[in-house]
C-alpha cells in the first residue's frame, strides 16, 4: 500500500519528497534521493548528491561559494510514486557513472605527474649535496602559482593521457608571462622541460609502457637586451630616493642617528627604509650584486684593503655564497665613488646585515625574509615618481643589469677580449653573457652614433620628397 503523501506537498507548500522517507519505496538506493517540483514544469525532477568522501568530482562538487552541488535528473512522470521509481533507476545509473570516474581517478592518481612528483621530490629534497637555493628553485617549478607544473590540470591525470597540445598550451602560458620578445622565456621552458623529463623517468620505473608526451621546439636564438636604467634615469632615481629619505641617504650620519630615523613595521615607505634602499641600490651597482645577495649581505663581508697602485682607496667584498653556491668570491668596485659610499654605509651600520636590518631573518635562510619584496615595492614607487617606464617590471635585478651596461658604456678598456674576461670574473658572470646581453648593444649604439656624426650634410631621398639634412 502506498504511503500517504504529506499534506504540505498536497497543498503546495512543500516542493520536495524524500523517496525513502516520504514515498516509502523499498529497495537498495541512496537515502538522500529526492523528487522535486520545479516551477513551470508538470513532470517531476529528481536530485541527489553523493556523500562527500565518495564524490569523485573536482573539489568534491563544491561551487565557488563552497557549497556542494546536487546532481539533477528528469523522471518523465507527474505522479510522485512513479517519479520515485524512475528516480531510483536514474540514481543507480548515475552511481555507476561516478564509480567509473572514481576508478579512473584512482588509476590517474597512481600514474599522474603529481604522484611521481611526490615520490621524486621526497627523495630529491633529502639529498645533502643539493643547496637550499637549488631545492627552493626546483620546488617553485612545481608549485608556483600560474605556471607551476603542479598547477596544471594535466598534472593530475595519467601521464599517458597528456597530449602534445597540453604541453604546447603550457609553453604558450609561460611565454605569456614574458615581455613578448621571441625566446625571452626559453630558459624557463627548458627548466620546466627538465623537471618534466625527470618525472617521466620516475614513472617509467613502474609504468614501462608509458607513452611519453612530445615537447614543442624551444627557440632561444634571439638574444635579449637586458632591461636597465639609462645613465640619466639612474641618477634621477637615486636623487628621488634620497629626496624621499628627507635628504638623509647622502649624509654622513652615525649609527645612533640612523637608528633614530623614523621607521614603522607596517609602512614600507618610511624614512629609514628609504635610506636602506639607497644603500642597497648603491652597493648592488658598485659591486655588481644579484638580488639574492641583498638579504644575506653583511658588513663583515667587506674588507678595506688600503690603496691600489693608483693611490685610490679600495674595498673588497667577499661573498660567502654566490649563484649555484660557489665558494667565496671576491668582488671589487670599479668606480672610485664606490669606496666613499661604502664608508658612509659602514659608519651607520658598522656590523651585521646591511639591507633592512630591522626585518627579521634566519641565518642561512635570509632569502625567505621580505627584504627583496620591500626593496622592489619601494623601487617601483620611486621609479613611478621619476616617470621611468620599462618593458617589464622594475626590480633589484634591473640594477645589476644597469651596473654592467653603464660600466661597459663608460669604460671602453673593459671591452677588449682580455679585460672583459676579468670584468666578468669580478662580476660573477660569464663572458658570453656580457657579450650577448650588454656589450653588443653598447657597441651597436656607439657605431651608429659615429656613423651619424660622420654623415655629410647633403640632400637625401625620402618617400615624401627630398629633405635637406641639417
pLDDT (0 to 100) of residue 454: 65
DSSP state of 219: -
Strands 71-74 and 302-307: unpaired
Of 169-173, 231-235, 442-446, highest mean pLDDT:
231-235
The answer as to whether 211 is a domain residue is no
Q: Which of 67, 94, 111 is the last residue of a domain?
A: 111
Would you say residue 461 lies in a domain?
no
Of 189-193, 283-287, 457-461, least confident by mean pLDDT is 457-461
Q: Give per-residue pLDDT as tens, 388-406.
A: 988 778 889 999 999 999 9
Indicate the SS3 state at residue 65.
coil
Number of folded domains that form the chain: 3
Q: Confirm if 14 and 6 have CB atoms less than 8 A apart.
A: yes
Residues in the chain: 470
Q: Give the phi and the psi of residue 45 in degrees, each rounded to 5.
A: -105, 175
Residues 285 and 326 in one domain: yes
* pLDDT average, residue stretch 49-65: 83
For the chain, give percent helix, strand, coil, nearest 5.
50, 10, 40
Do both 93 and 165 map to the same domain? no
- pLDDT value at residue 247: 94
The answer to whether residue 2 is domain-embedded is no
Q: What does the pLDDT read at residue 178? A: 67
Report the distance separating Cα 397 and Cα 439, nearest Å. Answer: 18
The confidence score (pLDDT) of residue 459 equals: 47
Average pLDDT over residues 59-75: 87
Q: Do residue 173 and residue 98 come from a single domain?
A: no
Identify the residue with better confidence: 157 or 349.
349
Please report whether residue 129 resides in a domain. Answer: yes
The reply to whether 106 falls in a domain is: yes
Q: Mark whether 32 and 136 lie in a shared domain.
A: no
| Mean pLDDT of the 339-348 span | 94
Among candidate residues 237, 251, 239, 408, the one with its CA nearest the CA of residue 335: 408
Residue 319 falls within a domain, yes or no?
yes
Cα(379)–Cα(237) distance, rounded to whole angstroms? 9
**Mean of per-residue pLDDT scores for the chain:** 84
CA–CA dist 464, 469 (Å, integer): 14
Do 416 and 282 fall within a single domain? yes
Partner residues linked to 17 by β-bridges: 35
Q: Note whether residue 1 is domain-resident.
A: no
Extended beta strands in 333-416, E state: none
pLDDT at position 257: 94
Could you say which of 157, 187, 204 is where a domain stops? 204
Residue 469 has pLDDT above 70, yes or no: no
CB neighbours (10 Å) of residue 289?
25
What are the tens digits of pLDDT across the range 108-157? 667 788 888 999 999 998 988 788 878 888 999 998 877 889 888 888 88
**pLDDT of 5-32, one tens digit each?**
898 898 889 999 999 999 999 999 999 9
* CATH code, domain with 273: 1.10.443
Say yes or no: 275 and 350 in one domain.
Answer: yes
Residues 431 and 324 in one domain: yes
Nine-digit cell string for 226: 637586458
| Close Cβ partners of 52 (under 8 Å, ≥ 6 residues apart) | 60, 68
The reply to whether 183 falls in a domain is yes
Q: Are residues 335 and 427 both part of a single domain?
A: yes
Residues 303, 372 share a domain:
yes
Cell 645613465 belongs to 231
Q: Indicate whether 322 pLDDT > 60.
A: no
Res 50: pLDDT = 93
Q: Are residues 236 and 300 in the same domain?
A: yes
The reply to whether 248 and 331 lie within a common domain is yes
Residues 103 and 125 placed together within one structural domain of the fold: no
- In angstroms, the CA 339 to CA 332 distance is 10
- pLDDT of residue 379 exceeding 90, the answer is yes
Domain residues for the domain of 141 are: 115-204
328 has pLDDT over 90:
no
**Rounded Cα distance, 451 and 439, in Å:** 18
Contacts of 21 (CB under 8 A, 6+ apart): 31
Assigned C-alpha cell, 248: 638623509
392 vs 62: CA distance, rounded Å = 38
Query: What's residue 400's pLDDT?
Result: 92
Q: Among residues of the chain, what percentage have pLDDT more than 90?
A: 38
Q: What is the largest CA-CA distance in the chain?
A: 112
Maximum average pLDDT range among 97-101, 192-196, 265-269, 466-470: 192-196
Per-residue pLDDT, 238: 96
pLDDT the model gives residue 31:
92
Amino acid at each position: 500500500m502506498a504511503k500517504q503523501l504529506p499534506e504540505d506537498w498536497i497543498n503546495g507548500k512543500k516542493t520536495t519528497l524524500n523517496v525513502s522517507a516520504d514515498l516509502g519505496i523499498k529497495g537498495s538506493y541512496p537515502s538522500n534521493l529526492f523528487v522535486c517540483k520545479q516551477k513551470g514544469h508538470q513532470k517531476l525532477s529528481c536530485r541527489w548528491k553523493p556523500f562527500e568522501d565518495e564524490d569523485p568530482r573536482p573539489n568534491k562538487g563544491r561551487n565557488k561559494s563552497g557549497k556542494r552541488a546536487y546532481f539533477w535528473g528528469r523522471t518523465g512522470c507527474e505522479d510522485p510514486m512513479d517519479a520515485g521509481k524512475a528516480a531510483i533507476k536514474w540514481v543507480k545509473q548515475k552511481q555507476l557513472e561516478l564509480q567509473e570516474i572514481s576508478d579512473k581517478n584512482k588509476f590517474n592518481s597512481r600514474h599522474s605527474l603529481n604522484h611521481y612528483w611526490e615520490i621524486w621530490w621526497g627523495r630529491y629534497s633529502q639529498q645533502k649535496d643539493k643547496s637550499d637555493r637549488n631545492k627552493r628553485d626546483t620546488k617553485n617549478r612545481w608549485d608556483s602559482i600560474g605556471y607551476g607544473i603542479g598547477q596544471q590540470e594535466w598534472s593530475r591525470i595519467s601521464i599517458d593521457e597528456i597530449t602534445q597540445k597540453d604541453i604546447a598550451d603550457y609553453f604558450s602560458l609561460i611565454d605569456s608571462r614574458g615581455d613578448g620578445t621571441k625566446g625571452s622565456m626559453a630558459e624557463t621552458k627548458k627548466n620546466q622541460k627538465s623537471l618534466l623529463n625527470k618525472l617521466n623517468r620516475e614513472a617509467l620505473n613502474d609504468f614501462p609502457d608509458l607513452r611519453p608526451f612530445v615537447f614543442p621546439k624551444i627557440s632561444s636564438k634571439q638574444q635579449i637586451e637586458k632591461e636597465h636604467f639609462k645613465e640619466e634615469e639612474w641618477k634621477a632615481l637615486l636623487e628621488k630616493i634620497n629626496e624621499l629619505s628627507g635628504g638623509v641617504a647622502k649624509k654622513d650620519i652615525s649609527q645612533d642617528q640612523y637608528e633614530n630615523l623614523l621607521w614603522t613595521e607596517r609602512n614600507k615607505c618610511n624614512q629609514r627604509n628609504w635610506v636602506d634602499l639607497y644603500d642597497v641600490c648603491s652597493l648592488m651597482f658598485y659591486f655588481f650584486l644579484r638580488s639574492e645577495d641583498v638579504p644575506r649581505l653583511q658588513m663583515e663581508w667587506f674588507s678595506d684593503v688600503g690603496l691600489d697602485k693608483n693611490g685610490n682607496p679600495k674595498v673588497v667584498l667577499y661573498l660567502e655564497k654566490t649563484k649555484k653556491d660557489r665558494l667565496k668570491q671576491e668582488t671589487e668596485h670599479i668606480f672610485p665613488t664606490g669606496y666613499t659610499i661604502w664608508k658612509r654605509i659602514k659608519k651607520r651600520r658598522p656590523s651585521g646585515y646591511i639591507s633592512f636590518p630591522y626585518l627579521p631573518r634566519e641565518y642561512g635562510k635570509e632569502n625567505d625574509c621580505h627584504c627583496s619584496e620591500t626593496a622592489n615595492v619601494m623601487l617601483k614607487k620611486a621609479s613611478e615618481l621619476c616617470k621611468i617606464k620599462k618593458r617589464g617590471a622594475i626590480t633589484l635585478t634591473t640594477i645589476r643589469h644597469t651596473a654592467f651596461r653603464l660600466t661597459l658604456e663608460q669604460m671602453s678598456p673593459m671591452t677588449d677580449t682580455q679585460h672583459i674576461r676579468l670584468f666578468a670574473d669580478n662580476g660573477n658572470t660569464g663572458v658570453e653573457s656580457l657579450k650577448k646581453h650588454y656589450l653588443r648593444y653598447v657597441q651597436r649604439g656607439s657605431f651608429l652614433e659615429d656613423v651619424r656624426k660622420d654623415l655629410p650634410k647633403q640632400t637625401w631621398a625620402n618617400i615624401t620628397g627630398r629633405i635637406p639634412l641639417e
